[in-house]
Amino acid sequence: MNGRSFLFVPGDRPDRFPKAAASGADVVVFDLEDAVAVERKDEARDHVRAWLSDGNQAVVRINAAGTPWHDDDLAAVSVAAAVMVPKAEEPLDLGVPTIPLIETAAGVLNAVALCAAKSVLRPAFGSVDLAAQLGVDHRSHEALRHARSTVVLAAAAAGCGTPIDGVTTALDSPGALQADLEHAITLGFTAKLCVHPRQVEAVNRAFTPSPAQLEWARAVVAVAENGAVSVHDGEMVDRPVVVRARAFLAVRRLARDALVAGQESGIHSIE
């Protein structure tokens, strides 16, 4: 599943569903878990099921296996684009495409097996829950650097999609969001979970290659296709370099497609 921005929306707030769909986020994630109180779980499930039944697409974060709501959640959202499985620790075959949310110590230590499960599209990293378990500040890049890198390595080793970084909880601090994005990109993340629509534009921009990167990527691909061995300042072009260049171009195509889709639905800018 491609996408740079994954926007959470509480499943018991159907008034926000259309707003989320029009936010410019690449993927909307309806939340049946943490964002919904126990007494509203059934109501939230019904709202999400109705939205999906109307032909709309979304990812749904279901309640974890072993909870009273898990089985009903899974049955209700079988037509979703994917289900996000919270506190994933053991590989599961749910019969639908899945995004394991790796947010516990056991999940991090078992990340390769989780990412290698057949139904997995790509993993997501849950910084807040993991930090709480470890007794560290979820805002600290250094405290969670090893865990984040472990998830990135696991996704690459398993051959699934690249990972999605966790949320930035500071809603009124563009600087904090930008710092989190730069750190995530440095480690190898290619997408981010968002908790508010105002975060979407910055996330999309950060994970879209710059004009300079695109110029470099096009030159690399052109040289590779011509059988040459170097490009720009004598840089050798071999397969790993070409793979990275093509990845830049693929992300740009995704951004362009998202912009076109947004314009058709009344969204005039996603970046």
CATH of the domain at 180: 3.20.20.60
What's residue 131's pLDDT?
98
pLDDT in tens, the chain (271 residues): 889 999 999 999 999 999 999 999 999 999 999 999 999 999 999 999 999 999 999 999 999 989 999 999 999 998 999 999 999 999 988 899 999 999 999 999 999 999 999 999 999 999 999 999 999 999 999 999 999 999 999 999 999 999 999 999 999 999 999 999 999 999 999 999 999 999 999 999 999 887 777 777 788 787 777 665 665 566 777 777 877 788 777 776 766 666 545 444 333 333 2
| Co-location of 45 and 129 in the same domain | yes
Domain that holds residue 32: 5-206
- The pLDDT assigned to 264 comes to 42
Count other C-beta atoms under 10 Å from residue 186's C-beta: 12
Q: Which of 206, 229, 251 is the last residue of a domain?
A: 206
One domain for residues 78 and 197: yes
Residues 202 and 212 in one domain: no
Number of domains in the chain: 2
Could you say which of 206, 228, 256 is where a domain stops? 206
* pLDDT, position 229: 60
The token pair that represents 195 in the structure block = 């908790």
Pairing mode, strands 235-236 and 230-231: antiparallel
Same domain, 133 and 232: no
pTM of the model: 0.86
Question: In this structure, are 116 and 172 located in the same domain?
Answer: yes
Residues 83 and 213 in one domain: no
Residue 271 has a pLDDT of 29
State the Cα–Cα distance between residues 248 and 210, nearest whole angstrom.
Answer: 9
Instruction: Classify 24 as helix, strand or coil.
Output: coil
Domain C-terminal end among 153, 179, 206: 206
Q: Cα(first)–Cα(last) distance of the chain, in Å?
A: 20
| DSSP run (H or E) holding 124 | strand 124-125
Measure the CA–CA gap between 58 and 30, rounded to whole angstroms: 7
Indicate whether 194 and 63 sit together in one domain.
yes
Task: For tokens 């975060």, name the residue.
Answer: 199
Q: How far apart are CA 33 and CA 168, in angstroms?
A: 18
- pLDDT attached to residue 93: 83
Q: Is 67 exposed, middle or buried (0-12, 13-18, 19+ CB in 10 A)?
A: middle
Statement to judge: residues 73 and 25 lie in one domain: yes
Q: What is the DSSP letter of 77?
A: T
Q: Tell me: do 194 and 230 sit in the same domain.
A: no
Find residue 193's DSSP bridge partners.
6
